[in-house]
Amino acid sequence: MRFRPNLRLRKTMRLFRRNLRSDSAEEVAPLVEELQLKERQLLEAQRVIQQLQEQLEEQAAEVDALRRIGAAVGSAFEVDETLNALVEVALRLTGTESCHIYLLNENRTELVLRAADEEARPMVGKIRLKVGEGITGWVAREKRYVAVPREAYKDHRFKYFPEMREGEYESMLAVPLLYNNEVIGVINVRTRRPHEYSRNQVRILSNIAAQVAGVIERSRRLQQLERRAEQVSTLTEITRQIASNLYLEEILQFLVNMTAQAMGYKICTVMLIDEERKELVLKATSSKSQEYISKPNVPLGNSIAGRAAQQGRIITVQDVKEHPQYSFPDIAAKEGLCSLACIPLRTKGETLGVLNCYTDRPHQFTEEELNVLMALANQAAVAVEHAKLSLRSAILREMHHRVKNNLQQVASLLRLQMHYAEGASAKEVLNESLSRILAIATVHDLLSREDLDMVPIKRLAETILFHTQQGLIPPHKRIETRVIGDDFLLPLQQATSFALILNELVQNAVEHGFQEQDSGHITVTIQEHPERYCLTVVNDGKPLPESFDPRKTMTLGLRIVDDLVRGGLHGTFDLFNCEEGICAQVTFPKEGNAVTPEWRLRGHE
């Protein structure tokens, strides 16, 4: 209710002025001055009362605004839901027609639209402003509000977004979101008509800004606590896996999957150093992309990961697609990779590999985040070292077992040699025994360079032919040897039998096929079929006689072949004449396809 001057006092003043004509000026003047003073005091009191009344109304509006803000904050559980509720409150309390809330990204370099009125809501998450760009960016940089009453789109700081239809709005009020004097975003409101923003509107929007800042900060703290809890849980689970699992591949795969999930990364990968080749080899990754998995190995010192491994230090990159030293920008673009942290796997002062962590958008890796990744990398290094020790122990046990078996096999061969050695010179006996022992040694030589349990058969055959060429063929004879066909892997026991069989067949061809010839060819063919393997040794020396019967003329070499084909490979052995010369053929099944072993002799073909 507005204050009005006393009507009775006004009437008295009018009567007093009419009576001035009848009274003397000297008597009335002091009374007039006193009355005028009272009238001025009365008007001043009226002005003060009106100001107090306006302040009371503003405070009542502010209390109502705070009540509505508190209701909006308390009724929403998710941050986005809270921000949308505060947008509606801001529109109602300020009487404006548009409201936008921008928040700083993780790197604090860009403002991202996170909430808006219904008209601009489809652009949430899509509109971005750099700090200092546009009126909103200027407010974030300067930490103070801006009020533009008309033609805000003509302001020199204005940044125009056509999809936001900003040309329709005249006025704009933008207020920073501050928490502990740190900017975390900006809230702005606008009207379509020119509008002078009152002190009360600025104060209401500032209160809303303070509430928004508090909501965001509480949400971030809650997210940090949740992340820390998940990270601790991840570290605990990885430690448990290392203690209970001896299989390195499973441990590393578990580590990259858990790290990607707990830290919110796009891809996590573990690469280990191959000391012989001086390369980083991918051992585990959370990526399902075949193109990413098939990336070539990284030489030490090359690319980002190679530098981190060589220098033994953490390296982070804001965007791998634009970094000149990153070797695979095309794959990164296709997979949607952006920021990268390379953490070396170190134990006892030695770097074993790297843990690579990729994000799908620009990301500033914090010190706390890198400390967590270092802890995970250390766990991976412990797992690698533990697996190496376990593997060495297993290798020692396996080698002891294999040496014992091979010595027993050598002893059996020497016993056979003694049985068939009548009439042979000591040199011939020793040469034959040496050739067989070298065949066994070849298997283990290849085994030491390749996988622990599998031997490459084509390379084994080439090595045996090389030793035959060097040790059994006399210098004056020109016998050419070659290996053709498929390459496949066999386990140790089968590979040893295969090596001894091939050695005997080649040695038999040299001794009997080329006994009277000084030149010729020996061709070894290796074939892999769906259910069996086939070894064929053909020489173009002297053919087998038509009356040849291996059961009656069983030499030591054929006896060894027969025993190994039947007992070691569970296969069949054929010896026959063919168009190319003498053909010795061994066929044996793959695992699970065993056949009845037999010895066959074909006639001249």
Quick one: which of 28, 61, 316 has its CA closest to 208?
A: 61
186 touches 139 (CB < 8 A): yes
Q: Which amino acid is at 273?
A: I
161 vs 155: CA distance, rounded Å: 14
Residues 6 or more apart in contact with residue 182 via CB below 8 angstroms: none
Highest-confidence range of 453-457, 508-512, 581-585, by mean pLDDT? Answer: 581-585
For residue 175, list its beta bridge partners: 187
Per-position DSSP letters for 279-291, written without gaps between them: EEEEEEES---HH
Find out whether 104 and 140 touch, Cβ atoms under 8 Å. Answer: yes
Of 236-250, 450-464, 529-543, the one with minimum mean pLDDT is 236-250
On whether the CB atoms of residues 551 and 545 are closer than 8 A, the answer is: no
Determine the 3-state secondary structure of 352 from DSSP. Answer: strand
Determine contact, residues 335/292, Cβ cutoff 8 Å.
yes
The pLDDT of residue 225 is above 90:
no
Instruction: Give the burial class of 589: count Cβ atoms within 10 A of its Cβ; 0-12 exposed, 13-18 middle, 19 or more buried.
Output: middle
Topology given in CATH for the domain delimited by 423-601 = Heat Shock Protein 90 (3.30.565)
- Give the length of the chain: 605
Class of domain 245-381: alpha beta
DSSP 283-344: EEES---HHHHTPPPEETTSHHHHHHHHHTS-EEES-TTT-TT-S-HHHHHHHT---EEEEE
Measured distance CA(530)–CA(220) in Å, rounded: 60
Q: How much is the pTM? A: 0.46
CA proximity to 79, closest of 211, 195, 272: 211
84 token code pair: 């949308």
Q: What is the dihedral of CA 580, 584, 587, 588, to 10 degrees?
A: -150
**Average pLDDT of 551-567?**
72
Token representation of residue 264: 């919110």
Contacts for 338 with CB less than 8 Å, ≥ 6 apart: 266, 318, 319, 320, 321, 332, 358, 359, 360, 361, 362, 363
Task: Report which DSSP code applies to 422.
Answer: T
Q: Per-residue pLDDT tens for 148-162? A: 999 998 898 998 888
pLDDT (tens digit per residue) in 331-375: 999 999 999 999 999 888 889 999 999 999 888 888 888 888 888
Task: Spell out the residues 6+ positions from residue 380 whose beta carbon is closer than 8 angstroms to its own.
Answer: 251, 252, 255, 270, 345, 353, 355
Q: In the chain, where are the structural domains located?
A: 7-68, 76-223, 245-381, 423-601
What would be the CATH architecture of the domain defined by 76-223? 2-Layer Sandwich (3.30)
Strands 315-317 and 298-299: unpaired
Partners of 291 in beta bridges? none
Give the model confidence (pLDDT) of 57-107 as tens digits: 665 655 565 555 555 555 444 677 778 888 888 888 788 999 999 998 877
Domains 76-223 and 245-381 share a fold: yes
Are the C-beta atoms of residues 443 and 455 closer than 8 Å to each other?
A: yes
